[in-house]
Amino acid sequence: MARHLITSALPYINGIKHLGNMVGSMLPADVYSRYLRQRGHDVLYICATDEHGTPAELAAKEAGISVAEFCAQAHDAQKAVYDGFELSFDYFGRSSSAQNREITQHFARRLQENGFIEERAIRQVYSPVDGRFLPDRYVEGTCPHCGYDKARGDQCENCTRVLDPTDLIEPRSAISGSTELEVRETKHLFLRQSALQHEVEAWVAEHEEEWPQLASSIARKWLTEGLHDRAITRDLDWGVPVPADTWPELAAEGKVFYVWFDAPIEYIGATKEWADLDPANRDYKAWWYEAEDVRYTQFMAKDNVPFHTVMFPATQLATREPWKKVDYVKAFNWLTYYGGKFSTSQKRGVFTDQALEILPADFWRYFLIANAPESDDSSFTWEHFAATVNKDLGGTLGNFVNRVLTFSRKKFGDEVPAGTAAGAAEARLGEQIAELLAEYEGHMETLQYRKAAAALRALWSAGNAYLDEKAPWLEVKTDLEGAALTLRTAMNLIHLYSVVSEPFIPASARAMRSAFDLADDTAAWVTPEQAKALDAVPAGTPFTVPPVLFARVTEEDLESYRDRFGGSPEA
């Protein structure tokens, strides 16, 4: 059985992330990790805050604290939100760690030894008004390819083309807005990606048929356009320093590695952080170096795909060392807010900390995964959100749990009733549940999230259909033992739902499962064959009725949310 290494795109340190960021990387990675663990696999889910680069420097300056202090505080703030969403990271690290510095410098030395790094004098944008060289992201202007007037100097967000600041039309400082920019000479290290073109093409060709079309098409587009040599150092105070034993002159000038170079290496660095925490943890190289038995799955939104399907694999290949490269890239399109971008400055959209302030995490987890932007961009609207959670969570699952347990307690007391032996209706139900569960498993295995959510919803609906067919509220009047069988069967469905729904809605799954006082309830999963019997909860098991699992989102709630976060039914 393969070991599973799972990573999601590193959230940047500068600010709490919005729902689009959550559904585009971390949440689907968590759902998959939880599912694999339940199926008995050895799983390591790694993520970290991406802490280097100019935005962190500027934010720290604005806050009046050191960059290190700012990043430490911001890391803790982000981690608190992810804990609130119950993201089951095995470790959530920091790219500013000593481990990442060590491994990044090792990578750079290996690239130098193998002839894939060159020191070049370049002319770089300098802003006299700001008194500094401007890194790529802090030069803005019009994209020469698509005409987008807010393109950054490293990449156009609109057409995703990679850019250099000097490519921009009418460039300006993103810090001060000054257009009085100069071009001055400075020395930097370049990764000779052009020399790796054919190797990367061959590597991508081995994997692209397995990858989703979104990931493979983006990788192929970049390769078709050709790989270009790119600077991997910057004139900044914050970052992984260029090692003095290899580049003494650049180290003396305070050069650091550019964030796009060291951030992907942090997947390895964070694993080493995890391994160093506890002697019981496996050595990080067991997951990353000569790790032939590891299957590596990576989750990210489409704007991150080029870095992880082309650029980082190029870096790994160039080390000439057996570092583990990604096997499967699950790429997502964007989640929009009423068709537009989430925006902090314009107060449009819901950010993850705000989401947890107003509703439980399971509401968000279920809605986002059930509407994951897999095949195209998807739009968040409050109307769609309320309709989904009210119908699926409240009306289908929550209502089933409540009416079964409440009615059974009223008629039979606080223990699961016995009733007669299962009959034809229960046999049909068992076959249906087994079939739906197998479908659910198949979609989870292939990372088809919308289809998995639909199969899970169908499992919940099957319980309601069974209850409506048997109508125990009528049955109890003429056939007490038959009604007891119906309720016992329904309670077993609740227990099954608590197990298989856990990857989507972990808190609600715990509440359902804990309703039954089962001393030996150690089942990690229920297979389709096991599900047919519907006998995990025997007669006589004490139970309690949990509080309402999913409170209804009312029209008054929606009005207040639209007022606070923007958007309207007409938007």
Model pLDDT for residues 100-148, shown as the tens digit of each residue: 999 999 999 999 999 999 999 988 889 999 887 887 878 999 999 999 9
Residue range 415-427: mean pLDDT, rounded: 95
User: Model confidence over 171-223: pLDDT tens digits?
Assistant: 999 878 999 999 888 899 999 999 999 999 999 999 999 999 999 999 999 99
Q: What are phi and psi of 243, to 5 degrees?
A: -65, 130
Parallel, antiparallel or unpaired: strands 117-127 and 132-133: antiparallel
CA pair distance 399, 485, nearest whole angstrom: 19
Residue range 469-489: mean pLDDT, rounded: 97
Residue 571 banded pLDDT, cuts 50, 70, 90? very low
Binding positions for Zn(2+): 143, 146, 156, 159
Nearest alpha carbon to residue 223 among 208, 244, 239, 242 = 208
pLDDT at 425 over 60: yes
Structural domains in the chain, CATH included, are 3-105+259-378 (3.40.50.620), 117-198+208-252 (2.170.220.10), 382-531 (1.10.730.10)
Nearest alpha carbon to residue 46 among 369, 319, 332, 275 = 275
CA pair distance 493, 508, nearest whole angstrom: 15
Give residue 497's pLDDT: 98
164, exposed or middle or buried, with CB in 10 Å at 0-12, 13-18, 19+?
A: middle
Binding positions: 143, 146, 156, 159, 344
Nearest alpha carbon to residue 2 among 34, 54, 42, 50 = 42
39-51 burial by CB neighbour count: b if 16+ within 10 A, else e?
beeebbbbbbbbb
Q: What are phi and psi of 282, to 5 degrees?
A: -70, 145
Residues found in the chain: 571
Query: For residue 536, what are its two tokens?
Result: 């995990």
Whole-Å CA distances, 283 to 45, 273, 277:
15, 10, 11
Determine contact, residues 193/227, Cβ cutoff 8 Å: yes
Nearest alpha carbon to residue 300 among 218, 220, 392, 240 = 218
User: Model confidence over 428-440: pLDDT tens digits?
Assistant: 999 999 999 999 9
Residue range 388-401: mean pLDDT, rounded: 98
Give the gyration radius of the chain's Cα atoms: 27
**Sheet-wide strand order for 139-142:** 151-152, 139-142, 169-173
User: Model confidence over 256-280: pLDDT tens digits?
Assistant: 999 989 999 999 999 999 999 999 9
Q: What are phi and psi of 289, to 5 degrees?
A: -130, 120
Give residue 344's pLDDT: 62
Query: For residue 22, what are its two tokens?
Result: 């959550």
Give residue 123's pLDDT: 84
Residue 569 banded pLDDT, cuts 50, 70, 90? very low
Give residue 124's pLDDT: 83
| Residue carrying the six token digits 């190797």 | 199
User: Model confidence over 486-520: pLDDT tens digits?
Assistant: 999 999 999 999 999 999 999 999 999 999 999 88
Residue range 533-557: mean pLDDT, rounded: 96
pLDDT at 13 over 80: yes
pLDDT at 464 over 80: yes
Helix, strand, or coil here: 295? Answer: strand
| Residue carrying the six token digits 């509440």 | 511
pLDDT at 545 over 60: yes
Task: Please provide the average confidence, as pLDDT, over all residues in the chain.
Answer: 94
E strands in 151-181: 151-152, 169-173
Residue range 468-484: mean pLDDT, rounded: 96
Residue range 67-75: mean pLDDT, rounded: 97
Give residue 544's pLDDT: 97
pLDDT at 347 over 80: no
Give residue 570's pLDDT: 45
Binding positions for ATP: 344
Residue range 286-310: mean pLDDT, rounded: 96
Q: What is the DSSP annotation of 46-112? A: EEEEB--SHHHHHHHHHHTS-HHHHHHHHHHHHHHHHHHTT---SEEEETTSHHHHHHHHHHHHHHH
Determine contact, residues 9/25, Cβ cutoff 8 Å: yes
Which of 153-157, 410-414, 432-436, 514-518 shows the lowest mean pLDDT across its residues?
A: 153-157
